[in-house]
Structure 1
Amino acid sequence: MIKAIFFDIDGTLVSFRTHRVPQSALDALEAVRRRGIRLFIATGRHYSDLNNIGSLTFDAYVTLNGQYCYDDRGVIYKNCIRKKDIAAVVSRLESDPFACMFIEEHRMYMNRMDERAREAQRLINFPDPDIRPARTALDADIYQLMPFVGQEHGEALMRELHHSRSTRWNPIFMDVVPEGGSKRVGIEAVLRAYGLDRNETMAFGDGQNDIEMLRHAAVGVAMGNAAEEVRRAADYVTASVDDDGVALALRHFGLI
């Protein structure tokens, strides 16, 4: 019996085309909540950037790909990148000045803006971040990095970060989190806090950073706009976010 559902945001609940949650999904989530099912967010976004889900509220939030989880009572779980890896990134940026987002608990900033970063900001409807020297990150706890680099460039960078892992849901940039960190780990922390079992869960996602989550949930649902590797990780593939995929899947499984 499904008692909890985890939703990715971008490309799952929210359309890349409209930057909004479709009305069909809003109605479906309201109907699911009336049945007593708990609703959770599982996103790569920072909590301060949950600016595209309108008035929707959730029981708890798994943010930064599982590195920072909270509800209205406070922080449930947090996990930051090792200082050695942050120092390696800062050192790399001194000779290879690509754009990189540094994400702390209560703020985000970039070392610079370039066209790749601007394109990503437009895609996910982010406001322009503060620009600060990369060395600012040496004195802070960093929960996630977002280097705005391509695949080959990213692979070279990751060979220097010995205690971190990366994932992508867009070719423009990647998310870097602590080794062993993922949405799955954050979800497990939330389930423990709420006394729930993963066999009672469903998860919706569309990106590479959703693969572990989809495999971990009792029922993993990939959106129709998901890449093939994400589809293969899911138990069920629904329609795209723009074609009412969330509502159709919830109806398919008899939850609405």
Structure 2
Amino acid sequence: MIEIGLKHTSELTQTSFPNACGHKYALFFDIDGTLVSFKTHTIPASTIAALTQAKANGHKIFIATGRPPLIITNLGAIQQLIDGFVTINGALCFVDNQVVSCKAIPQEDVLTLVNDAQQKDYGLIVVGEKDVAVLDPHGEVDRVFRGEIAVENLHLSKPLDVVLQQRILQLTPFFSQDYEREILLHMPGCTSGRWHPAFTDITAKGADKGEGIRTLSARLGIDMNYTMAFGDGGNDTSMVKAAGIGVAMGNALESLKAVADYTTTSVDEDGIQQALRHFQLI
């Protein structure tokens, strides 16, 4: 687990970051299906080696994930390389445990979905600013998150009434894409990013990975022309389009490949290493 004690601050010191002259890049990586294999639930050795070399070559390494900090537990092999985080699909961004950006879902939209989930009896993860609540009436949340994605720490979830006292940064309901389109008509302050057929991640409008990497880059003085984003799912679309170079994994959705500047091989076929070599960053 990534140990994070976040501190809100209105100012962050800009880091020295070489611009076009040095050709140093800020590299943003999705976790599931990009850094971490869905098959082995680990980071391939080739990816660890590639990121280690990229860091040694002067590039910056950032995480851009839909996961809240509580369940970022699978990056131990590269933790020492990471320069900052875009988490919860851009709703919470931080560097050195200092919050750069935090965007909450409007309370009325939160209650719309929570009430609907309780009435229609479907699974829902409610991500607060500090804690997470899990509604899992049929065990689907556990089956997918723990069984398929090997997520840890959901057992640390808190009661719903406790979490609803906090600002809510993300809602992850387990329902179909058709119903997603229907319910979003009643949640005008929200946007959705689906990366798994069983569920979607709903955040406040303006909170997505693309906006997250722009916000983090602006705060750190990073030229967006020298950013590179790697992803595989629908919630990666905004950052792949926003980055100077957008890279889709070989195992990515076809819709993501269609907007990417480059498609590499899959996470299990040394895709990160192959792409960094292609662009001569390692």
The answer to whether the Cα contact below 8 Å between 1:41 and 1:63 also exists between their aligned partners in 2 is yes
Deviations along 1:75-111, whole A, 9 cap, x unmatched? 1111010011011112213321211000012211112
Structure 1 134/162 Cα, relative in aligned 2: closer, same or farther at 3 Å? Answer: farther
Structure 1 145/242 Cα, relative in aligned 2: closer, same or farther at 3 Å? Answer: same
Aligned length: 256
The match for 2:77 is 55
Structure 1 20/149 Cα, relative in aligned 2: closer, same or farther at 3 Å? Answer: same
Code of the aligned partner of 2:253: A
The answer to whether the Cα contact below 8 Å between 1:90 and 1:135 also exists between their aligned partners in 2 is no
Code of the aligned partner of 2:151: F
The answer to whether the Cα contact below 8 Å between 1:108 and 1:129 also exists between their aligned partners in 2 is no
The answer to whether the Cα contact below 8 Å between 2:24 and 2:59 also exists between their aligned partners in 1 is yes
Deviations along 1:175-232, whole A, 9 cap, x unmatched? 0000122111111121122111100111100000111101111111100000110001
1:28 aligns with 2:50: yes
Moved more, 83-92 or 118-127: 118-127
* Selected match of 1:170 from 188, 191, 196: 196
TM-score using structure 1 length = 0.95
Structure 1 65/47 Cα, relative in aligned 2: closer, same or farther at 3 Å? Answer: same
TM-score using structure 2 length = 0.86
CA distance in 2, matches of 1:94, 1:242: 39
Moved more, 198-207 or 152-161: 152-161
Deviations along 1:2-22, whole A, 9 cap, x unmatched? 421100000000000000000
* Selected match of 1:86 from 110, 113, 118: 110
CA distance in 2, matches of 1:92, 1:129: 24
SS in 2 for 1:39: strand
Report the Cα offset of residue 158 of structure 1.
Answer: 1.6
The match for 2:31 is 9
SS in 2 for 1:203: strand
The match for 1:156 is 182
Structure 1 55/173 Cα, relative in aligned 2: closer, same or farther at 3 Å? Answer: same
Moved more, 192-201 or 6-15: 192-201
Report the Cα offset of residue 131 of structure 1.
Answer: 6.2
Equivalent runs, 1:64-213 vs 2, <5 Å: 64-121=88-145, 122-127=147-152, 128-129=154-155, 134-213=160-239
CA distance in 1, matches of 2:46, 2:102: 33
Code of the aligned partner of 1:215: K
Runs of 4+ in 1 over 6 A off after TM superposition: none
CA distance in 1, matches of 2:72, 2:35: 12
CA distance in 2, matches of 1:17, 1:106: 30
Report the Cα offset of residue 114 of structure 1.
Answer: 2.2
Unaligned runs of 5+ residues in structure 2 are: 1-22
Report the Cα offset of residue 150 of structure 1.
Answer: 1.6
SS in 1 for 2:168: coil
The match for 2:62 is 40
Code of the aligned partner of 1:6: F
SS in 2 for 1:139: coil
SS in 2 for 1:53: coil
The answer to whether the Cα contact below 8 Å between 1:109 and 1:129 also exists between their aligned partners in 2 is no
Report the Cα offset of residue 173 of structure 1.
Answer: 0.4
